Amino acid sequence: MERNLQETFKWIGFNLVAAILLFAIGKAAFAIAGVNSNVTAIWPATGIGISLVYIFGWRIVFSIGAAAFALAFTQGGTFISLLVLPLGDIAEALVGATVLKKILEDRRYFAFQTETVAILAAATVASALNATLNIGTLIFNDEIATKTAFSLWSAWWIAGTLGALIIIPVIFQYCKNTYKADNTRALLISVFLSSSALFIVFLIPHGNAFV
């Protein structure tokens, strides 16, 4: 009983620390937002959230939801956005971590590039899900015009994708040792594929959001 209680307090403390970290990073990202008060150029919290769930499991999602709620509240979010934004961030982290795990579990198809493919897939799929949920909410609340929805969706997706592509490899490097520095060939190909993905991501959107 005492051990279970200690475990519970440990996770409460861990979620609290993670929530504060995610909130601080989110506020810093919003401080340099150039598209819309709800959309930033890059969203590192996506990569952090996916990494936390992948490494520590579903029990860390409470910190993600709490940080998202606090960010939405301080940004003057409506009642619906205060509900949807946390759910979107939680879904993003859970889906991203699941994609990451499933691909990393089977290395038959991508061999030594499995880590790169897994990170690319997790970043793009999870960010697309979150962008869809949140932009849909903004449209529903009449906070944005329908004609600008795709540009804002693209900006939201890019911000999350970039955040994941930058943060996840760094966290893996120091926490999970996924990338091996002594494998020069694998490292070079990883850099090439990630750079190509970033280049393609920046070429896709065109519109007012990127003027």
Tell me the per-residue pLDDT of 160-209, one tens digit each, with 9 for 90 and over.
Answer: 998 898 888 877 776 655 444 444 455 455 555 555 555 555 444 444 43
The length of the chain in residues reads 211
Query: What was the pLDDT predicted at 174?
Result: 65
The 3-state DSSP class for residue 193 equals: helix
pLDDT tens-digit map of 26-41: 888 777 655 455 567 7
Q: Is 39 helix (H, G, I), strand (E, B) or coil?
A: strand
Round to whole Å and give the CA distance between 164 and 47.
4
- In three-state secondary structure terms, 36 is strand
Strand segments, DSSP code E, in 66-191 are none
Give SS3 for 182.
Answer: coil
CA 80 remoteness from chain centre: 21
Return all residues near 197 (Cβ < 8 A) that are at least 6 apart.
120, 124, 165
